[in-house]
């Protein structure tokens, strides 16, 4: 089976959950910006949660199915259509050879996703199929997709029997205002002045236009450190909140560098990374400081909900759990 890219849109790349275990070698994970959406769509399709998908911005790509397929779309709030007929997000759907998938502009959110039963079949490099655009490897020839590219899809043993369960609303992205992003104190949080600590959680911030999957620059109040002592470069992760020399903030995203030398004043709670990834430039939000244990508990609750989803999908298809 294969997909033909008729129009590439903006930054359409093959993604999975990331290339982990290589940061000591300087190889960053570069997984999906909204990993929760990827996991949910793959669960709905009966794939491995780490199956490769297509991640894209807007304007979105136009994609022709060259063979019959079962697919699912999700991520941001965008309307999709097959041959002009609307397609529901968060629900598997069949496509026939020759069908054309198109998208409208997203009403909210940054990244859309297309998952295919069997996953997108590109070579696995260092344990992952994700695209590292900066290093130009992985995914489809290490680059964003272009018009005329063909993506092979993997084989699947999944039997749907016409059962295409839709995702309930509890796990769908909530991009309505007000938006709060929960954070835990980072290794250098203590370096903030008392006033800066208050501003961090008491004033709104917004994503700026010079943001990308490597990092989001934030507009908002300037924060200050107690001293100007330079730091040794230290490990950085998806969600690290850095205090920049000009008093601004940057949040490292999926394509983040492996180390950084700016103060790491906070880390975004893992459960809120998908929400942050989907905030458009200019969208305002506030930070809420929580304890690390609370962030772990929130993540555990989300994992339980995903387990319930897996069980529900199997039951809907008459499979023995």
- Which of 171, 191, 209 is the last residue before a domain boundary? 171
Domain-embedded: residue 314: no
Q: What is the pTM of this model?
A: 0.94
CATH number, position 282:
2.40.100.10
Position 124 pLDDT exceeds 80: yes
Domain-embedded: residue 221: yes
Closest CA to 75 of 273, 244, 278: 278
pLDDT digits (tens, 9 = 90+) for 180-220: 999 999 999 999 999 999 999 999 999 999 999 999 999 99
Which residue has 């070579």 as its token pair?
Answer: 123
Verify that 103 and 228 share a domain, yes or no.
no
Q: Residue 222: CB partners within 8 Å, gap ≥ 6?
A: 246, 247, 248
Position 320 pLDDT exceeds 70: no
pLDDT digits (tens, 9 = 90+) for 285-313: 999 999 999 999 999 999 999 999 999 88
Position 157 pLDDT exceeds 70: no
Residue 86's pLDDT is what? 94
Closest CA to 213 of 251, 242, 166: 251
Position 96 pLDDT exceeds 90: yes
Residue 77's pLDDT is what? 85
- The residue that leads in pLDDT, 313 or 40, is 40
Three-state DSSP at 42 gives helix
**Domain extent at residue 192:** 180-290
Query: Between the CA of residue 262 and those of 74, 199, 254, 259, 266, what are the distances in Å?
Result: 35, 19, 18, 10, 12
Verify that 256 and 284 share a domain, yes or no.
yes
**For the residues 37-64, what does the mean pLDDT come to?**
95
Residue 24's pLDDT is what? 86
**What's the structural domain count of the chain?**
2
Average pLDDT over all residues of the chain:
92
Domain-embedded: residue 320: no
How are beta strands 234-235 and 259-260 bridged, if at all?
antiparallel
Domain-embedded: residue 125: yes
Q: CA-to-CA distance for 172 and 227, rounded, in angstroms?
A: 43
Domain-embedded: residue 207: yes
Domain-embedded: residue 307: no
Closest CA to 278 of 253, 249, 306, 303: 253
Verify that 158 and 185 share a domain, yes or no.
no
Q: CA-to-CA distance for 267 and 240, rounded, in angstroms?
A: 5
Verify that 112 and 152 share a domain, yes or no.
yes
Verify that 64 and 206 share a domain, yes or no.
no
The string of DSSP letters for 175-216 reads -PSS-EEEEEE-TTGGGB-HHHHHHHHHS-EEE-SS-BTTEE
Q: Range with the lowest mean pLDDT among 132-136, 161-165, 258-262, 307-311?
A: 161-165
Q: Is 291 exposed, middle or buried (0-12, 13-18, 19+ CB in 10 A)?
A: exposed
**For the residues 122-139, what does the mean pLDDT come to?**
95
269 pLDDT band, cuts 50/70/90, is very high
Verify that 165 and 240 share a domain, yes or no.
no
Verify that 94 and 12 share a domain, yes or no.
yes
The neighbour count for residue 110, using CB atoms within 10 Å, is 25
């Amino acid at each position: 089976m294969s997909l033909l890219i008729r129009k590439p849109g903006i930054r359409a790349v093959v993604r999975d959950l990331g290339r982990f275990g290589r940061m000591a070698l300087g190889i960053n994970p570069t997984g999906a910006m909204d990993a929760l959406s990827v996991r949910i769509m793959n669960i709905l399709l009966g794939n491995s949660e780490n199956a490769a998908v297509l991640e894209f911005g807007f304007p979105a790509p136009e994609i022709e199915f060259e063979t019959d397929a079962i697919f699912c779309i999700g991520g941001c709030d965008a309307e999709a259509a097959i041959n002009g007929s609307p397609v529901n997000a968060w629900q598997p759907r069949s496509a026939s050879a020759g069908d054309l998938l198109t998208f409208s502009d997203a009403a909210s959110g940054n990244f859309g996703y297309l998952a295919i039963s069997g996953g997108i079949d590109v070579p696995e490099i260092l344990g992952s199929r994700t695209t590292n655009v900066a290093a130009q490897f992985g995914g489809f020839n290490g680059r964003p997709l272009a018009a005329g590219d063909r993506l092979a899809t993997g084989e699947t043993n999944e039997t749907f029997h016409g059962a295409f369960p839709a995702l309930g609303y509890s796990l769908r992205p909530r991009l309505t205002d007000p938006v709060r992003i929960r954070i835990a104190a980072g290794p250098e949080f203590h370096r903030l002045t008392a006033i800066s600590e208050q501003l961090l959680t008491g004033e709104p911030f917004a994503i700026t236009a010079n943001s990308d999957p490597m990092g989001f620059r934030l507009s908002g109040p300037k924060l200050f450190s107690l001293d100007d002592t330079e730091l040794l470069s230290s490990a950085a992760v998806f969600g690290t909140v850095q205090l920049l020399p000009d008093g601004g903030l940057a949040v490292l995203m999926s394509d983040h560098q492996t180390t950084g030398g700016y103060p790491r004043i906070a880390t975004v709670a893992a459960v809120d990374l998908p929400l942050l990834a989907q905030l458009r430039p200019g969208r305002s939000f506030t930070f809420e400081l929580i304890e690390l244990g609370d962030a772990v508990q929130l993540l555990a609750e989300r994992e339980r909900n995903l387990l319930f989803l897996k069980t529900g999908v199997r039951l809907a298809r008459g499979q023995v759990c």
